[in-house]
Amino acid sequence: MTSHPPPPPRATMREVASAAGVSLKTVSRVVNGEPGVREVVRREVEAVVEELGYRHHRGASDLRRSGQRTRAIGVLVQDIANDYSARLLRSLEDATRERGFVLLAASLDEDAARERQLVTEMIARRVDGLVLMAATDRQDYLAADVRAGLPVVFVDRVPHGLDVDCVTIDNAGGTRAGVEHLLGRGHRRIAFLGDLPAIPTARERLAGWRQALVAAGATPDPALVRDGLRTVDAARDALGDLLRLPDPPTAVFAARNVLTVGCLRAVRWDAPAPAPEVVGFDDVELLDLLEPRTTVVRQDVEAVGRAAADLLERRMAAHGWPARHVVLPTELVVR
Amino acid sequence: MTSHPPPPPRATMREVASAAGVSLKTVSRVVNGEPGVREVVRREVEAVVEELGYRHHRGASDLRRSGQRTRAIGVLVQDIANDYSARLLRSLEDATRERGFVLLAASLDEDAARERQLVTEMIARRVDGLVLMAATDRQDYLAADVRAGLPVVFVDRVPHGLDVDCVTIDNAGGTRAGVEHLLGRGHRRIAFLGDLPAIPTARERLAGWRQALVAAGATPDPALVRDGLRTVDAARDALGDLLRLPDPPTAVFAARNVLTVGCLRAVRWDAPAPAPEVVGFDDVELLDLLEPRTTVVRQDVEAVGRAAADLLERRMAAHGWPARHVVLPTELVVR
DNA sequence: TTGAAAGCGTTACCAG
DNA sequence: CTGGTAACGCTTTCAA
């Protein structure tokens, strides 16, 4: 393989200017659609732009422009490939597209070090705003940047040690509704499968499970709680274990989409005759077609994205107002 | 709501320099971890950096640095929220993360105008490379930029009017395998549900359906082909229609994940007693738990992403070698 | 309507 | 080891 010589560098405004026989500033005017250029000149410049393949350089433009807006938003989610994160990303895209924003997206995988590294990266790139599904316990490391005017919105999880806007859902309430549904169907031994206890959302859902049981006069049995579950297989194994207990649960609450799928796999492949009833947090594609029917606590992901975009844009427009915490309701979808 | 005064602008290297009593260049050295700075001075500068909340400005740095690398990759997919696009994005992220790349992601929604607008946007931001799931018929509009050295890799679809690298899968072959599976089970009237015929991938899958039928001595009936289907509901309606034909199909090949879901909904809710058998292109979560079992043609999305990242990085490293077309195999998952 | 010069925040180059 | 000066590609400012 012969390594060819590198292609010539891109044409700059200066080159377009000299080729068109006008000044740099005139090219800038044409390229930016500013007034004050005769039609003949404009045409000529446009022709040279085309001929030389000139492309506007946003980086240089942003640098010089006052205000220093990059029209880029950093979005750090748990895992881009996960349905929840992907839909959130999409709704943020839709909500910001018209104003010309571009999304810098990355996955954190619940890794605190990775969060700090990527936040630094985003700030170095001077994003106009940051949407964060935090993987860290505390986010005081961001305080100076927030004070310096960086618009930050937390999604899915509340901030700790940091006073910024956030959009969450009613995790405890949603979970209570799900567990109450099971209680109403006569279950008393209801297991709970959860994500890492370090995640506030996971803790809130566990609390909801406990609250519902206590309110119903049932005893939350610690032996029926399995947390720290990250994957479909981990959930499947955990439920399998629970079903082998001497006094196994008759129902399970799965606190996340991935865990619900794991439970259903366990029920299908590993469960003894009277399969436990499953209720999950977050709806999953095709779940409504599956037998036995699985009730879920559904959240409006698109609404979360819209609210986050809205808060972000308000922050970008005006700085200094108190942090707002938006909590969106959940909906029990009984099947 | 009182609009507070804007926060003071971020500290620059110059300010750090004067506060630390050193030159601009020394701060630059410290910030970039370059050698040639006494330990005492380095410590002092680092302290001032911390105190003033200085943050490196990549935009300015990239502008001045030779090579003009932004370490950003533009990824334009069909729909970030779709499982296929989301997983592709994630595998590109994993494959490029170590080298410090960041992903600029956007959805095209099969909209040609949107593709051209976003490509312009990405070039203006001087991405180091572009991954494109094209929505346009032809991409000659990119020729000048490719000649100018922009690394571009097409994924899922081959380029037209443009000689660039691409990663696709064996769409016709995969579809043939799926249809042959149905033929082997005794079906002769096999319907085809496809996406927009403007999408090369969709056309190749349709061709595969035809090839398999012809090879088996069956007649591809145009009345059993429904294309231009974009959504779950469109697929559901289309299959519903087909089943109301005087001589309805006994099986369906659904050429995309979304369409498979639509077919399964139709089968579950709208189909008469002997439900048609469904085979789909692309696997879907939970599909393996659904009754009746649905066979699928599976592709390795992660491998597509890895191959695309690999081609992109080769292009970035050395320019001028002939375009390479990688075609990955599919796998029939019989259920 | 047009253009020359300065400067955005940084790094390259070369002198001390 | 350290620092001045120029320059990256562009927009702003102001003068012509």
Q: Where are the domains of chain A?
A: 13-51, 69-163+301-329, 171-299
> Count of alpha carbons within 13 Å of B303, Cβ hemisphere only?
11
pLDDT at B333 over 50: yes
> Does the nearest atom of strand D lie within 7 Å of A18's Cβ?
no
Site of tokens 């010589």: A5
Q: How far apart are the C-alpha atoms of A172 and B51, rounded to whole Å?
A: 40
**Could you tell me which CATH class the domain A171-299 is placed in?**
alpha beta
Query: What does the alpha-carbon distance between residue B210 and residue B189 come to, in Å, rounded to a whole number?
Result: 12
Q: Is the pLDDT of residue B3 over 60?
A: no
Burial class (CB in 10 A: 0-12, 13-18, 19+), A332: middle
Residues from chain B that touch A55, judged by Cβ atoms under 8 A, are: 120, 123-124, 145
- The overall average pLDDT reported for chain A is 94
Q: What percent of chain B has pLDDT over 70?
A: 98
Give the whole-angstrom CA distance, residue B177 versus residue B280.
11
Q: Which pLDDT value is given to residue B273?
A: 74
Which residues of chain B between 12 and 31 are close to nucleic strand D, CB under 7 A? 22-26, 29
Closest Cα of chain B to A116: distance in Å?
Answer: 13
Confidence (pTM): 0.95
**A318: chain B residues, CB-CB within 8 Å:** 1, 3-4
Domains A69-163+301-329 and A171-299 share a fold: yes
Phi, psi of B147 (to 5 degrees): -60, -35
At residue B32, the pLDDT reads: 92
C-beta atoms of A1 and B318 within 8 A: yes
| SS3 of residue B104 by DSSP | strand
**Is A31 an interface residue toward B (CB < 8 Å)?**
no
From A4-18, A161-175, B11-25, the region with the lowest mean pLDDT: A4-18
- How many helices (H) does chain B have, and how many strands (E)? 12, 12
Digit-coded pLDDT (tens) for B17-41: 999 999 999 999 999 998 888 888 8
CB atoms B4 and A265 under 8 Å: no
Q: What is the DSSP track for A139-178? A: -GGGHHHHHTT--EEEESS--SS---EEEEE-HHHHHHHH
Single-letter code of the amino acid located at A25: K
Contacts of A82 in chain B (CB under 8 A): 86
Where does B69-163+301-329 sit in CATH, by number? 3.40.50.2300
Q: Looking at B39-48, B154-163, B275-284, which range is the least confident one?
A: B39-48
Supply A30's token pair. 């044409």
Q: How far is CA A262 from CA A184, A268, B239, in A?
A: 24, 10, 31
Any A CB within 8 A of B3 CB: yes
Which range among A35-44, A77-86, B189-198, B201-210 shows the weakest confidence by mean pLDDT?
A: A35-44
CA distance B127 to A153: 26
The whole-number average pLDDT for the span B159-183 is 97
Confidence grade of residue B1 (pLDDT, cut at 50, 70, 90): very low
- The 10s digit of each residue's pLDDT in A115-173 is 999 999 999 999 999 999 999 999 999 999 999 999 999 999 999 999 999 999 999 99
Which residue minimizes Cα–C1' distance to C7? A64
E strands present in B170-300: 190-193, 225-226, 251-254, 277-281, 295-299
A61 touches strand D (CB under 7 A): yes
* Helix, strand, coil percent values for chain A (each to nearest 5): 45, 15, 40
Whether B312 has a pLDDT exceeding 80, the answer reads yes
Tell me whether residue B206 is exposed, middle or buried, using C-beta atoms within 10 angstroms of its C-beta: 0 to 12, 13 to 18, 19 or more.
buried
